[in-house]
Amino acid sequence: MKTLINSVQLIGRLGADAAIKTTHQGTKVCNVRLATNEYSKNSNGDWVETTFWHTLVFWGKLAEKLEKNGKKGTRLAIQGTLHYREYTDANGIKRDMTEIKVNQFMSLNGSSAGYQVAATESEEAADLPF
């Protein structure tokens, strides 16, 4: 049951190419947005698409795996946990931010090699092909 606590699973498309940054301690990190879509009928009976944007954070080996083929439009399935933080912007206004720390992901785009890419935080998965 522990795995159900603070667990997020999404399937969507990357809104931009993945780009890694390195912290002062040398840890790799990648922040990227994921678009998910929801479809519903409006009062006229027409289908309407609503897009939701989610901020994803990839750390370490996961960030490195995503950077290799994480291009804008790439379809991903992710599993992670919600994290909340506060910061003060350049105008001195306090802001709240919700992020998803990705624990594992899989590319849902077909590859020429015939396999799907999957990566997790564990060391065993760090050597999976991307």
Q: Tell me: the pLDDT tens digits for 20-79? A: 999 999 999 999 999 999 999 999 999 999 999 999 999 999 999 999 889 999 999 999
**Percentage above 70 pLDDT, the chain:** 82
Q: What single letter denotes the amino acid at residue 58?
A: F
pLDDT at 123: 43
pLDDT over threshold 80, residue 127: no
What residue segments make up the domains of the chain, in order of their start? Answer: 2-37+48-111
pLDDT at 119: 64
- What b/e readout covers 62-100, taking b as 16+ CB neighbours within 10 angstroms? bbbbbbeebeeebebebbbeeeeeeeeeeeeeeeeeebb
Confidence band of 85 (pLDDT split at 50, 70, 90): very high
Q: What whole-number distance in Å separates Cα of residue 79 and Cα of residue 51?
A: 19
What pTM was estimated for this model as a whole? 0.79
Is beta strand 94-107 parallel, antiparallel or unpaired with respect to 118-120? antiparallel
Is 66 within 8 Å of 17 (Cβ atoms)? no
Which H helix or E strand runs over 30? strand 28-41
Pick the CATH number of 2-37+48-111 from 3.60.20.10, 2.60.40.720, 2.40.50.140, 3.40.50.2300: 2.40.50.140
